[in-house]
Structure 1
Amino acid sequence: MSEASAASVIKITQELLLGEDDRSAITPALISEKMDLVLRLNPKWAVDLDRNAVTDELIRRFSIWIGEDSSLVDVKDHVAWLDAHRKKNWRYWQRYREMLEKKLSWTAVDALDKSTDKILGQLEDPLRSGTWDRRGLVVGHVQSGKTANYTGLICKAADAQYKVIIVLAGLHNNLRSQTQIRLEEGFLGYETSGVSNVKRRIGVGNLDTDHSINPNCATTRANNGDFNRRAATHLAISPEQRPWLFVVKKNKSVLVQLLKWIQNHVADLPLSAEEIDIDKNDPLPRVTKKVTKFPLLIIDDEADNASVDTGETVVDADGNPDPEHQPTTINKLIRRILNSFSRAAYVGYTATPFANIFIHERGKTRSEGPDLFPSAFIQNLAAPSNYVGPSRVFGQPSPDGRDGELPLVKEVDDFCSGESGWMPAKHKPTHVPVYSKSEDLPPSLREALQSFLIACAVRQVRGQGSQHSSMLVHVTRFNSVQAAVHQQVSEYMRSVRQRVTRGIGHEELLEQLQGLWEGDFIPATRQVRAAGLGDLPDYDPSWEEILAVLPDVIHDIDVRMINGTAKDVLDYEEAKEKGLKVIAVGGDKLARGLTLEGLCTSYFLRASKMYDTLMQMGRWFGYRPGYLDLGRIYTSPDLVRWFRHITDAAAELREEFDLMASSGATPREYGLKIQSHTELLVTSQLKMRSARTLRLSFSGQLMQTVSLPRDGSVLQRNFKSASAFIESLGGAGEVNPSLEYGPSRYQWYGHLWRKVQSTSVVDFLRGYRTSEASHRVNSIALADFIDAMVGSGELKEWNVALLGIRDGRPSQLAPGISVNMVRRKEEGQYEDRYSIGVLLDPKDEAIDIDERQWSAALQLTAEAWARAKKAGTPEVPSGPAIRRVKGCGGDGVEARPETGLLVLYVLDPTESRLDLDEATPGLVAFGVSFPASESGVKIDYKINNVAWEQDYGAE
C-alpha cells in the first residue's frame, strides 16, 4: 500500500475520532471501529494496510502525556520482591486493565500500571514469612483519579496473595457506597446488593466470567451495607480462600465490630500476659491475639481526614514515645487493626497530605503499635496533561499578576452584608436565608443557575447531552439551612421551567440568558481555546441553536439535597444512558471525596482557611473534556485569594518534594521539611491541637512581603528603616550586577552588597513592621530565626540586593543610592493592606550565585521538569533548586548554609491607591531567600490568639 493511501486512512480516521465527545478516551478498539468505516469508503486502501502502524500513529496523536511519579523511600527492613516473574498470570489486574483500556488511552493505562507497580513493590511480599509492617502514603491531586489508582493496587495486591483488604472509605454513607460501587466494577466483578444471593456481573466480571476467582466481600453497596454485628457473627475465612474485601466507614462502631471480628474469628496466635496492654479505662477491644495466616492491606482513602491522631502529646521532650499517650478513637482503632496482624501494610491516599506528614514519626503506643506516619514511602502521583488542577484554574503568580488564570472564576459579594443578609459567614442552624422582599435568592446565585442552564444546553448542542452534568451549591454546613436553600433553588428552577416552556413572561429571562452567553461564555470559550486547553470544538453554537434545546434541558434538570444516603450516589449509575442533570445542594457531605460527575457550575461560599479543607472542597478540579470552557465557579473574593494562596504553596511543596526525591531523601526528612513550612500552620495547629506557640524553621524557604500595610506612619517607618540600613552598608556596592552563565545574559538594575554581617540584617528586620494580616511573613520572627541560626554557625553573613527596573520613577534611599521603583499589580481591594501576588522575579534569587551553583541548580530544575514532562527546558533555575544548592551543595559544589540573601524593592505607590507624603516616596518591600539547612534549628513564634480565633476558630 502507498504512503499516500496510508496517510488518507489516518487523516479520515482522525477526523472521525475528532467527533467523539471525549477525546481523552481514544482507545485502540475505537480506532479500529472508525478505521473499518473508512475502509468501507475505499476498500483498496485495506490492501497491505499496516493497521497496527495506523493505530500507533493515531494513539500518538491523541494520547495525553503523563509525568513520572516521584517517591521518597526508606528501604530499612524491606526486601525487594516484585519482578516480571511474580506478575505472571495476574488475573485480577489483567481484567481491570482490559476494562480501563475501553475508556482510557494506552498512555494513561500504562502510567497507572507503572504507578501501582511502584507502590506495591514498596510494600512487602505477602508471601514473605515472619513479622513485617510497611506504612506508605500516596499523594494525588484533588479529583484526579486516586480511586482508579488504588483499585489497580488492590487488584495487584490480591494477585500477589494479600488475603484481607480493608478500604477505609471516608466518614459518610454516600462516599462509602460510591467507593463500594467502584470496587465492584474494578475488582469484585459483581454487584453486592445485599438483597439477593444472585450476583449480577458488572465491570470486570463481564470480561472474565470465571466465578472461581471472584473475591469475597463482607460489605454491600446498600446504604446500610457497612460492616456490622450481623456480618461479624456469620463471617469466617480460611487461608485457602480467595481474598476478602471490606469497604468500611471511618466510624467508631463499624471499626469496633471489625476489630472484634478479627480478634475473635481470625487471630490465631495468643499474646502473652506481658504483651497485652490492659487499661481498665479503655472501653475499646484490645489486641490479645495476632493473625499470622493472612497478610493484611489497608487502603485509607482521604487519609488526612479522621485517621490522624490529634491528641496532645505523643512523645516526651527527648523525642521518646509516651507510653501513657491516648490516641484519638479512629486513629486508635485503625492502628489496633493493623497491630492485630503479624504481616501488615498500610497505604494512605490523599490530595492534601500535610496532616499525615505532621504525624510524629516516633509516635508509638503499646496496644496500638506505631502511629500512621508513612515511614516506608511517600509517592507523588503525576497528573495527566488533561487534568485541570488548581494551577490551571487560578494560574501562577508573577510580578504582573496571575499568569494563565482561566476566565472561569466569578467573585460574588451580594450574599451577605456583615452579620446579616442571605448567607452571612457566621450563622446559626435557625438562620432563614432571604435576600429581599421580592427575591429569595441573591442575584449571583440566580446568575449561577442560569450559567448552569447554558452549560447544559451547550453540551447538548455539542453532542454531550447524554453525559452527566452537575451543579454544586455549597453555602452552609447546617442541614436545616441547606433545606431552606434547596427549597428556594427548587422554586426558582420551577419558575424558570414554567416561563420557558409555556412562553409566558419569559422575555426578560431569555434576554438575561442571551446576554450571559454572548457577554461571558463566548469570550471565555475563545480564551480557553486559544490556550489550547479543554479539547474544545472549533466553532461556537449560535444563540438560536441553544434556544432550541433549552426547554428540554430545563425539563431534565433535577434539584437534590445531598444528605448522605446511598441513593445520591446510585442515581449516576442508573441514569448513565440518558445522563443525569442535577443541582446538588449540600454541605460537608459534598466537601470531601464525593465525586460530582460532569461538574459544570459551583456556587461555593463556605469560609474555611484550613489548607486541606479548602482544597478538598474544590470539587471543580478534575477532567473536563470538551466542556472546560463552560465551567463556572462563583465564590467570595476572600476564598479566591485563599485558593490562589494555597495553590502557590502546593506547587512549591511539590517542587521541593521532587528535589528531595532526586537526592534520595526519606519520608522522615520530608516530614521535617513540611513541619517547618509556615504556609501550613493552619493544618498543623488545628489537626495537632498544639498551643498558640509555634515551632518554626524558615530554612530552604523564600519569605516575601506580599501583604503590605496601608497605615502611612508604618510605611514611613519602614522606609526610614530601609534607608538607615542601606546607608550603613557604605558605598554603592556592585552597581547594576549581571551574570552570564549560559546562552542568556541576565541584567539587574540596582545594587548588590556582599558579606554583610547578620547583625545589620537583623537590625533592619526588627525595625521593619510587616502587615498584621500576614501570617506567613513576620519580620520579628525572621530576625529571631536568623539569630538562632547564627548560634549554630549558619546565616552569619548576607548578600543584600536593592533592585529596581530600568525605566521608572526614581526613589532615593541613601545619599547617592537610588533605584527606579518597581510596579506590582494589586490582588483584591482591601482597606487594611495592599496585597500583591508575588514580589520577587524568579531570577532574582540567582543574583548572588556563582557559575557552579547556577549549573547545579539548573540541572536539578531540569530533572524536575523532565519528571513532570514539562515542555521545553528551563533557562533559569527554580527558587527551591537555588536554595537547596546554596545550603546543601551538590556535585562539585560546596554547601554554603552560612550565607543568606536579602532583596529589597521600592514599590511604586501609584499602583496601590495610596497617597503618600514626600517623606515616604515609596513602599519598601523585601524578600529573604534562606538556604536549605540540615541543622534543624527552630524558633518559638507566638500567634495572636484573638486573630487566630477570628480566622480559624470556626474550623
Structure 2
Amino acid sequence: MMNTDIIVNMALVALPPDRVPTEDEIREIVERLAPVYGSDESIKAQVLSKLLTRCLVKMDTGFALVEKHVPWVHARRPEIEPYYWDRFKQWLQRQGWPAGVLSGLDRTTDDVLDLLGNPAELNTWKRRGLVMGDVQSGKTATYSALICKAADAGYRFIILLTGTIESLRQQTQARLDEGFVGFDSSELLKRNRRDLRVGVGLIDGRRQATVFTSSSADFRSTTLDTLGLGLNALREPAIVVIKKHTKILENLRDWLRSYNTTTQSGAIDIPTLIIDDEADNASINTNDENSDPTRVNERIRELLTLFRRTTYVGITATPFANIFVNPDDQDGMLGDDLFPRDFIYTLQAPTNYFGPRRIFMDDSGSALHLRSIDDAAAAIPFKHRPNFKVTALPGSLIKALHIFLVANAIRDLRGEGPTHRSMLVNVSQFTGVQSGRGPDDPGVEGLLRAELERTQTAIRSFSSLPPATALDNATIAALHAAWEEEYRDCGFDWPTVQGALRNAVLPVTTIAVNQRTGPRALNYKAHKDTGLRVVAVGGNSLSRGLTLEGLVVSYFRRSTKMYDTLLQMGRWFGYRPGYEDLCRVWLPQDAIDWYGHISDATQELRSELKRMYRLRRTPKEFGLAVRASPDSLLVTARNKMRTAKEITRVISVSGEAFESVELHARAKPLLDNWSQIKSFVEAAESTTGVSEIQPSGPRLMRGVHRQVIADLLRNFKVPETEFRFQPDAIAALLDRMPTGLMEEWDVAIPEGEGDPIQIGHRKFKRLKRKVRMDPPGVLEVSGAKRRVGSRGVEKAGLTVDEAEKARRLAHEAEVEMAAEEGRKKKLPEEINVADKFYRAVRSRPLLLIHVLEPELAMSQEDFSGGEDCPGLPDLGEGALVAIGLSFPRLDAGITQTLARYKINVVKWREIFSSSIELGDDDDFEEEP
C-alpha cells in the first residue's frame, strides 16, 4: 500500500505556507501529483481527504479578562527582532502544522505577550495571569511560542515549572530543547560537550539560549557553579525547566539569592517570566487562610519576591483550583501572589481538536467513541492494596486490545506510513500491580504481554490463510469479531484487514510506564523512523502531562469524582488526524456519566468567561462569580479536606438548576418524601390563586407561593453526599427573600412511559430511570451527565415567545461553537435546545416533580452488597420521587440570591478520599 503521507507532504510543500489555501488550490495540487500515485482513484481520495483535513484546520484567537493594563507590543514591534519566534515558526511548519493553526498561534501568543509586563519598562512591575486551554490541546506549543516571543522582546530569564513527576519534566525539557534552545540540553551542561543541534538549532544555530537544566537532570546549583554560569554575564536569555518539588525550588531560590542579586535591596533586576505548567497541580495553597501556605506554593511565591520585574503565568486546562486561591476569603484572594489578578486568557482549540465536547457532549447520543467497562471488578477491584496480585485480565480489556490491533491494520491500509500508535491501560495507581513482581506475579503489563504474544503467534500462523480457514482459529475469530463490531464501516472488508494483520501487529509491544521502569520507558523519539506501536500500562505517570503519541484505544478504570483530576486523566484527548473514527475510550459507566457532567461544567465555565469578557469584567469579578457556582463545591472540599471538619460556602442560585440526583436508599426517607410530595400537590390543587395550565408537555400548575415551595424543600430529605443540591439551604434563602421577588412559582410534573401512579387528582406514567448504589446507602439517579430530568424539561411554563427566544439563543451558541470546531452549523430547527437557554429566558422559577420507576443498574462495579442496602427498597404503594429547581437570572442584590451551604468534610473524606489521586501512592514521584 502506497504511503499517502509522502504524497501529502509533497503537496504541502507546493501549497502557500503563510496562509490557508483554498479548496480549489488543494484539489489542483492533487491533480498535478497524479503521476506520483499513478492516477489511482482510491489513493487520490485519501490524499485529498488528508489535505483538506489538515489545511482547512484553523485556530481562532482567544479572549481575556483584564485588569487595567497598558498594551506595549505593537509600539515596540519595530525594535523587536523575532529571532527565536521565526525559527520556532519554521520548525512548526516543518512538523506539518496547518497554516491556519500557525497563524492563530501567532496572533494568540501576541495577545498573551501583550498582557505580560513590558521588559523594557525599568520601573518595578509584577504581573500575575492565567492561560486556560484544553486538555492535550497543544498548550506546550503555545507556551513554547510565548517563551520565544518573550525572549525576543527582552525577557532575560525564564523559569518553567512542570508537574511533580520527573519523566514529565524531561519530556517538557526535550520539547523546549527542540522549540527554543536548539541544542540537546544533556550535552550543554557538560564540560566536554558535543555540539548536538536539535529542532530549531538545525534551522538557525547562530544564537543560543542558555539552559540551566537538561533532559537528564533537574536543577543543580553545583553544576552551574562548576561551569561558572550566572545570569548577569549572559547575553542571551536563560531558561530552567524544573519540577514543582520543594527541595529543587529551594535550591533554585538559594542559588539566585547567592549569585545573582544586583540591587541594594537584594532583588534581581532582570525581566523574568515564570510559566507554571499544570498550574492547578501542587502550586495552589490548599491550607486554611489562617495557616501557613503549602510548601510548594510558598517556594514559588518566594521565587517571585526575588525579582523586581516579573510576570507569573499559570497554564492549565482545569482552572477550578486556581480560581479558589483563598476560597473562604473573597477579598483575601488578591493577597496570594498566584491568583491571576491581572488577566485570565482563554485559548481557542484548533478546529480538529478531539476533546471532551466531541466525546462526551454529542447531542445525537450515539457515543461513537465510548465503551462501558462492566466486567472488571472480579479481576481488579476499584479498591485494592499495593500488593494485590492480578491473576487474569477482564474480558473487556482483552477485547480492547484486539480492537487496538485491528485499528493498526486499518491505519496501515489508509497509507499512514511509519507513525506512532498507542494504547493506554490505566487500572491501578500501584506500580506492583502495573509491572508485576516476578514470574509468579506478572502484573497487568505481563498478562497483556502474554495475551499479545499469543495473538501474534496466531497471526503469524493463520492470517495468510483464506479467511474461511483462518477464522477457525479462536484468536483470528476474536479479531474478526472486533472488526465486525467496531470497524465494519471503516472502508476495508475483512479479507483485506486480515491480510494486513501480520505487518500491523507483529511490531506491537507492551511497556509499563511508572516510577519503577524509569522516565525513558516510553521513548517515541528512538522510533521516529519506524513508528512505535505500544500498549502503555501505567498509573499516575499516564494521568497528567504525558502525551501518548498516536493514541487509538484507551482503557481507563480509576475512581475519582474530582473535576480537575478526572479531566487531566483523560490522555485520550488531543489530535487524531485521519483516524479519529477509529478511537475508542473504555470507561466505567459512572466515569462516563461524570465526564459528561464535568464536560458540561467546564463548558459553562468557558461560557461564563466569555459572558464576562463581553461585559468587560475583571479576573477578580470572574473569580467571585465562579466561586458562587454550586459546581465549585467539590473543588472547595478537596482544597480543605486536610484540615477542616466542616465548610460553609455561599452559593448563588441565580440562573442555576438543581436536581436531587442522590436519594436515600432506605424505605423510610423515600416514603416520607413521597408523602410530602403528595400532600404538596393535593394542597396546591385546592389553593386559591393556583391555576392549572394545559399546554402540551408536563402537567403544569401556576401561582404556587414561594413559602409553600420553601416548606416542601425543608421537608424533602437527601443524603449528606448530595453536595450540589441542599434543599434546607435553598429553603432558608427563599425565607429571607424580600417581598415581590420569586413570589410565584410554576410547578411541573413530567410524564414518562412507566407504570401509572395517582398523584393529586390525576394519574401519571412514571419516568423510567436507572439508579445505582454509589456509595452504598445512597441511590444515585444515573444517566448521561447525572441528570434526572430529560433534556428540554425546563421549557415547562414558558410562553411561545420565550421558547422562541431560547431557541434563538441556542442557535447563536451553535453558530459560535460550529465556527470554533470548524464544522457546518446546524439549522435552527435541528438544534436540541439545552435547558440553560430556557433558564436564561425564564421569568418565574420552576419546581419539577419527577416520579420515578427505577431500575437498579447494579453490578460488582457499582455495589458489592451488604445489609445497609441489599437492593431497591420496597416502597409498597409509594413511589421514588426526585425534585428539580430551575431559577431565572436574578437582578436583585447579591445577598438576596445566595444560599449558605454546609459541606461535611469528614463525610466527604469517607466517600471520596480513598479514590482521589493526592500523591500518596507508589506511582507518585516526590523525590528528585
| TM bucket normalised to smaller | 0.7 to 0.9
Letter in 2 for 1:406: A
1:267 corresponds in structure 2 to 261
Letter in 2 for 1:346: Y
Quickly say closer, same or farther: Cα 1:251–1:200, change in 2 above 3 A.
Answer: same
- 2:421–2:550: 8 Å Cα contact kept in structure 1? yes
Q: Deviations over 1:360-403 (max 9, x none)?
A: 2898999x97331111121222222321212322235xxxxx74
2:242 corresponds in structure 1 to 248
- Secondary structure of the equivalent of 1:372? coil
2:921 corresponds in structure 1 to none
Rounded Cα–Cα distance in structure 2 between residues aligned with 1:365 and 1:703: 28
Quickly say closer, same or farther: Cα 1:835–1:477, change in 2 above 3 A.
Answer: closer
1:206 corresponds in structure 2 to 202
Rounded Cα–Cα distance in structure 2 between residues aligned with 1:707 and 1:207: 59
Which shifted more, 907-916 or 372-381? 907-916
Letter in 2 for 1:799: W
Quickly say closer, same or farther: Cα 1:845–1:547, change in 2 above 3 A.
Answer: closer
Instruction: Give yes or no for the alignment of 1:786 onto 2:734.
Output: yes
Query: Which of 536, 546, 551 is residue 497 of structure 2 equivalent to?
Result: 546
Rounded Cα–Cα distance in structure 1 between residues aligned with 2:367 and 2:232: 55
- 2:166–2:519: 8 Å Cα contact kept in structure 1? no
Instruction: Give yes or no for the alignment of 1:799 onto 2:745.
Output: yes
Rounded Cα–Cα distance in structure 1 between residues aligned with 2:271 and 2:408: 48
Quickly say closer, same or farther: Cα 1:27–1:428, change in 2 above 3 A.
Answer: farther
Quickly say closer, same or farther: Cα 1:884–1:414, change in 2 above 3 A.
Answer: closer
- Secondary structure of the equivalent of 2:196? coil
- Secondary structure of the equivalent of 2:586? strand
2:294 corresponds in structure 1 to 328
Query: Which of 157, 162, 170 is residue 155 of structure 2 equivalent to?
Result: 162
Rounded Cα–Cα distance in structure 2 between residues aligned with 1:872 and 1:249: 45
Letter in 1 for 2:71: A
1:578 Cα shift? 0.8
1:94 corresponds in structure 2 to 86
TM-score w.r.t. the length of structure 1 is: 0.79
Query: Which of 453, 456, 464 is residue 497 of structure 1 equivalent to?
Result: 456
Identity %: 31
1:135 Cα shift? 1.0
Instruction: Give yes or no for the alignment of 1:777 onto 2:773.
Output: no
1:598 corresponds in structure 2 to 550
Which shifted more, 18-27 or 242-251? 18-27
Instruction: Give yes or no for the alignment of 1:124 onto 2:117.
Output: yes
2:370 corresponds in structure 1 to 409
- Secondary structure of the equivalent of 1:354? coil
- Secondary structure of the equivalent of 2:506? helix
- 1:259–1:337: 8 Å Cα contact kept in structure 2? yes
2:390 corresponds in structure 1 to 433
Rounded Cα–Cα distance in structure 1 between residues aligned with 2:328 and 2:669: 45
Quickly say closer, same or farther: Cα 1:61–1:598, change in 2 above 3 A.
Answer: closer
Q: Deviations over 1:290-326 (max 9, x none)?
A: 112x111111110000101121225xxxxxxxxxx42
1:615 corresponds in structure 2 to 567
1:873 Cα shift? 7.2
Q: Deviations over 1:898-949 (max 9, x none)?
A: x643333445669999898784477453233253566254414142734641
- Secondary structure of the equivalent of 2:65? strand
1:683 corresponds in structure 2 to 635
Letter in 1 for 2:77: R
- 1:766–1:783: 8 Å Cα contact kept in structure 2? yes
Query: Which of 214, 237, 244 is residue 220 of structure 1 equivalent to?
Result: 214
Query: Which of 509, 527, 534 is residue 558 of structure 1 equivalent to?
Result: 509
1:167 Cα shift? 0.6
Rounded Cα–Cα distance in structure 2 between residues aligned with 1:291 and 1:704: 54
Rounded Cα–Cα distance in structure 1 between residues aligned with 2:673 and 2:327: 42
1:337 corresponds in structure 2 to 303
- 1:229–1:257: 8 Å Cα contact kept in structure 2? no
Quickly say closer, same or farther: Cα 1:692–1:348, change in 2 above 3 A.
Answer: same
RMSD: 4.0
- Secondary structure of the equivalent of 1:556? coil
Rounded Cα–Cα distance in structure 1 between residues aligned with 2:609 and 2:584: 32
1:829 Cα shift? 8.5
Quickly say closer, same or farther: Cα 1:360–1:867, change in 2 above 3 A.
Answer: farther
Residues 501-580 of structure 1 aligned to structure 2 (within 5 Å): 501-502=460-461, 507-522=473-488, 526=489, 540-564=491-515, 568=520, 571-580=523-532
Letter in 1 for 2:646: R
Q: Deviations over 1:470-526 (max 9, x none)?
A: 11121222222222122222233233333432459991111111112112332xxx4
Rounded Cα–Cα distance in structure 2 between residues aligned with 1:844 and 1:22: 53
Query: Which of 693, 698, 706 is residue 647 of structure 2 equivalent to?
Result: 693
1:835 corresponds in structure 2 to 782
- Secondary structure of the equivalent of 1:344? strand
- Secondary structure of the equivalent of 1:71? strand
Quickly say closer, same or farther: Cα 1:710–1:691, change in 2 above 3 A.
Answer: closer
Structure 2 residue runs without a partner (length 5+): 36-47, 437-442, 464-469, 859-871, 917-928
Q: Deviations over 1:879-900 (max 9, x none)?
A: 55665677xxxxxxxxx8xx64
Rounded Cα–Cα distance in structure 2 between residues aligned with 1:713 and 1:547: 59
Quickly say closer, same or farther: Cα 1:823–1:850, change in 2 above 3 A.
Answer: closer
Letter in 2 for 1:935: I
Instruction: Give yes or no for the alignment of 1:763 onto 2:702.
Output: no
Rounded Cα–Cα distance in structure 1 between residues aligned with 2:648 and 2:327: 19
Residues 426-465 of structure 1 aligned to structure 2 (within 5 Å): 426-435=383-392, 441-465=393-417
Letter in 1 for 2:653: S
Rounded Cα–Cα distance in structure 1 between residues aligned with 2:494 and 2:236: 58
Q: How many residues align?
A: 842
1:536 corresponds in structure 2 to none
Rounded Cα–Cα distance in structure 2 between residues aligned with 1:853 and 1:18: 55
- Secondary structure of the equivalent of 1:352? coil
Quickly say closer, same or farther: Cα 1:605–1:665, change in 2 above 3 A.
Answer: same
Instruction: Give yes or no for the alignment of 1:901 onto 2:877.
Output: no
1:753 Cα shift? 1.6
1:529 corresponds in structure 2 to none
Letter in 1 for 2:660: T
1:46 corresponds in structure 2 to none
Instruction: Give yes or no for the alignment of 1:307 onto 2:283.
Output: yes
Letter in 1 for 2:358: R
Rounded Cα–Cα distance in structure 2 between residues aligned with 1:853 and 1:187: 54
1:430 Cα shift? 1.7
Quickly say closer, same or farther: Cα 1:404–1:807, change in 2 above 3 A.
Answer: closer
Quickly say closer, same or farther: Cα 1:943–1:71, change in 2 above 3 A.
Answer: same
- 1:758–1:786: 8 Å Cα contact kept in structure 2? yes
Quickly say closer, same or farther: Cα 1:18–1:333, change in 2 above 3 A.
Answer: same
Letter in 2 for 1:490: R
Letter in 1 for 2:676: S
- Secondary structure of the equivalent of 2:487? helix
Rounded Cα–Cα distance in structure 2 between residues aligned with 1:270 and 1:365: 33
Rounded Cα–Cα distance in structure 2 between residues aligned with 1:24 and 1:827: 53
Rounded Cα–Cα distance in structure 2 between residues aligned with 1:454 and 1:860: 43
Query: Which of 268, 275, 285 is residue 291 of structure 1 equivalent to?
Result: 268
Rounded Cα–Cα distance in structure 1 between residues aligned with 2:600 and 2:881: 24
Which shifted more, 864-873 or 155-164? 864-873
Rounded Cα–Cα distance in structure 1 between residues aligned with 2:709 and 2:11: 56
- 1:68–1:867: 8 Å Cα contact kept in structure 2? no
Query: Which of 639, 650, 653 is residue 591 of structure 2 equivalent to?
Result: 639
2:913 corresponds in structure 1 to 952
- 1:361–1:371: 8 Å Cα contact kept in structure 2? no
Structure 1 residue runs without a partner (length 5+): 1-14, 43-54, 272-288, 315-324, 397-401, 436-440, 527-538, 739-746, 887-895
Quickly say closer, same or farther: Cα 1:132–1:332, change in 2 above 3 A.
Answer: same
Quickly say closer, same or farther: Cα 1:37–1:617, change in 2 above 3 A.
Answer: closer
- Secondary structure of the equivalent of 1:137? strand
